[in-house]
Amino acid sequence: MPTSKNGGGRLSPPAISALGLRKTYGGKTVLDGIDLHIPDGSVFALLGPNGAGKTTVVKILSTLVTADAGDLRVGGHDLAADPQAVRAAIGVTGQFSAVDGLITGEENMLLMADLHHLSRREGRRVTAELLERFDLTEAAKKPASTYSGGMKRRLDIAMTLVGDPRIIFLDEPTTGLDPRSRHTMWGIIRELVSDGVTVFLTTQYLEEADELADRIAVLNDGRIAAEGTAEELKRIVPGGHVRLRFTDPAAYHSAATALREVQRDDEALALQIPSGGSQRELRALLDRLDSAGVEADDLTVHTPDLDDVFFALTGGAAVPHQPKEAVR
């Protein structure tokens, strides 16, 4: 399993840690011994197909459901011994959001401020500030039931921030959102992180994990199938290649003859060579081209994308795809 070289919070205690987390529902093992270590101030994505157990992990770590076993710590507090302290340190927004559709966005916020025992004046100040920050000022006096999906999610996050949590759980924050709202949500999440908040995110979207997360764990069959940075995960699976492009047909043909295992594209004068993209492999390739006396006009290294990783690790479970424009 790959490990991070820049394990950000090695000196400070992790924001979230789990050792041997287990959960069974009516004889069915949903989580079969999960270990997590999430450094303070980082974004962690738990990626998995539908039914993998992502929401169960979030519910357990946010004290809504108790684990059967596991040494669990959130915000430096032991989950079993001090769930109250954990609750005070975290914010949770999920698919089952706390937004009450019958009252206005502003009233939802003020209710939250009351729950956090803010004074009336402070509650109003925080509400106005957060509504402004999440572009909801104009809609503040309308019932939340009239809000679009994206606006409801933004209100949900704004409500979570009333308590100024240092750790936020976002359970599938962009599921069901259109691409524009999804990008807005990504911006919001990045902003939270730049404020130093730790974000625990679950997602079915590979691109989302790739865009946002410092580290990604793939949950499959009740276990963490792999964990690492997006780049580390991509290196697990084959599928990488080098693409060489030529403008001179003679050079193209010489290169195709000099290299073994090439896939030719005669029309584009391009060659594709399987490669993990390591320096050693690239040097060997360039040496062979040099010996043949040819020079490519363009060389690009392609690493496999998270799709390849996900399908390799989860046995090809179906996941919804995002439009390709979302891929970096």
- Interface with ligand ADP by CB under 6 A: which residues? 25-26, 30, 48, 50-56
User: CA–CA separation, 297 vs 302, rounded Å?
Assistant: 17
Q: How far is the CB of 30 from ligand ADP (least distance, A)?
A: 4
DSSP state string for 188-241: HHHHHHHTT-EEEEEES-HHHHHHH-SEEEEEETTEEEEEE-HHHHHHHSS--E
**Cα 227 from Cα 217, distance rounded (Å):** 4
Whether the CB-CB separation of 43 and 201 falls below 8 Å is answered with yes
Which residue lies nearer to ligand ADP by CB, 254 or 322? 322
Sheet containing 77-78: give its strands across.
28-38, 16-25, 69-74, 77-78
Specify the residue, 50 or 145, whose C-beta has the smaller distance to ligand ADP: 50
C-beta closer to ligand ADP: residue 108 or 204: 204
Question: Cβ of residue 216: shortest distance to ligand ADP, in angstroms?
Answer: 15
Write down the least CB distance from residue 272 to ligand ADP, Å. Answer: 36
Nearer to ligand ADP, 24 or 303 (CB): 24
| Closer Cβ to ligand ADP, 56 or 184, answer by number | 56
Q: Which residue's CB is nearer to ligand ADP, number 35 or number 100?
A: 35
Question: Considering the complex, what minimum distance in angstroms separates the CB of residue 129 from ligand ADP?
Answer: 32
Smallest separation, CB 310 to ligand ADP (Å): 13
Which residue, 65 or 299, has its beta carbon nearer to ligand ADP? 65
Which residue's CB is nearer to ligand ADP, number 39 or number 53? 53
In DSSP notation, 124-158 reads: HHHHHHHHHHTT-TTTTTSBGGGS-HHHHHHHHHH
Task: Give the shortest CB-172-to-ligand ADP separation in angstroms.
Answer: 7
CB of 48 to ligand ADP, least distance (A): 5
Q: At its nearest, how many Å lie between ligand ADP and the CB of residue 101?
A: 23
Chain-centroid distance, C-alpha 284: 35
Ramachandran angles phi, psi of 286, nearest 5°: -65, -35
Between 149-161 and 120-133, two packed helices, what is the crossing angle to 10 degrees? 140
- The distance of Cα 146 from the centroid of its chain, to the nearest Å, equals 29
Q: Contact, 14 vs 200, CB < 8 A?
A: no
* d(C-alpha 108, C-alpha 313), whole Å: 41
